[in-house]
Amino acid sequence: MKIYTCPKTTCSEKIPRDYFKGGELVYIPNGKYTQKRYDLETAQGLIKTQLSKIRKIWKFEPRIVDLSEYIGKKEELFKQLENVTTVFLEGGNTYEIARLKKASGFSDWLNTQKNNPEMVYIGYSGSVVSLTKDLYGIDNYDDPKADTFGIGTEDMEGLGLIGETMLLQHKNCQKLEEEIGKTKGELVEETIRLREFRGMATIAVPDSVMLEWDLMTDKKKIIKYNQTPDGRRELAFDML
């Protein structure tokens, strides 16, 4: 499995279409509903926009899978994910996304795909951070007591699919609350400093680039576009 972190701009404009092996793409929108700055109508509109971009740029016809419909129905979810080679998850509250993945059986399905060289996992913010086990400090900007899907709030750990904790620095996010007066990116940076003070390892990914993490080889590389002298964008890689 290869994991791709989405930058602040849309993933579909950053990941080349030939990175995919074919098969079916499943779009999982649930994270969008945990973002409290959006009401239901706005969230649904943003989801429709994302689907349009996937169709236009990647030439995929995505199938929506709502994980909240499979809480306690792992076998049914496994059937829905047969023949899937790409999953694209919206971001949101890291704790809620992690709990939903576990409650629906999606975390178990991911573990069956970890050594599948054709599987591609694409995610924004919390949908990637939730893949790690150690979520210490994430409550600096995600509410661990939020419970959009009625699962409960006791579980405070991520999935543990990847060993190192990863934080995506979205420096350009709008202010979370006026009384806080800080962007999410600033809060993420505070979390990184807090973790470093305690000797806890963190991979911080700037919002201007994309990280590719191959779980089979544990190799990581930064994907970015460089501007050529004639004005073209050229794909570039930096190994980590």
The model's pTM: 0.86
Residue carrying structure tokens 């004005």: 231
Write the CB contacts of 56 (distance below 8 Å, at least 6 apart in sequence).
12
Task: Read off the tokens for 30.
Answer: 């649930």
DSSP letter assigned to residue 70 = G
pLDDT, residue 79, reads: 97
Q: Give the CA radius of gyration of the chain.
A: 17
Residue carrying structure tokens 């996992």: 121
Phi then psi dihedrals of residue 62, to 5 deg: -70, 150
Task: Read off the tokens for 154.
Answer: 């006791």
Total number of domains in the chain: 1
pLDDT, residue 37, reads: 75
Q: How many Cα atoms sit within 13 Å of 105 on the Cβ side?
A: 16
Residue carrying structure tokens 């995600």: 142
What is each CA distance from 65 to 30, 110, 126, 172, in whole angstroms?
9, 15, 18, 29
Residue carrying structure tokens 């943003």: 46
Question: How far apart are the C-alpha atoms of 171 and 110, rounded to whole Å?
Answer: 29
Task: Read off the tokens for 206.
Answer: 């700037």
DSSP letter assigned to residue 61 = -
Mean pLDDT confidence for 157-180:
67
Residue 181: band (very low, low, confident or very high) from pLDDT cuts 50, 70, 90: low
Determine the length of the chain. Answer: 240
Range of the domain at 81: 2-239
pLDDT of 24 higher than 80: yes
> What pLDDT, in 10s, does the model give residues 94-112?
999 999 999 999 999 999 9
Task: Read off the tokens for 210.
Answer: 């994309």
Residue 122 contacts residue 88 (beta carbons within 8 Å): yes
| 205, β-bridge pairs | 168
CATH value at residue 10: 3.40.50.880
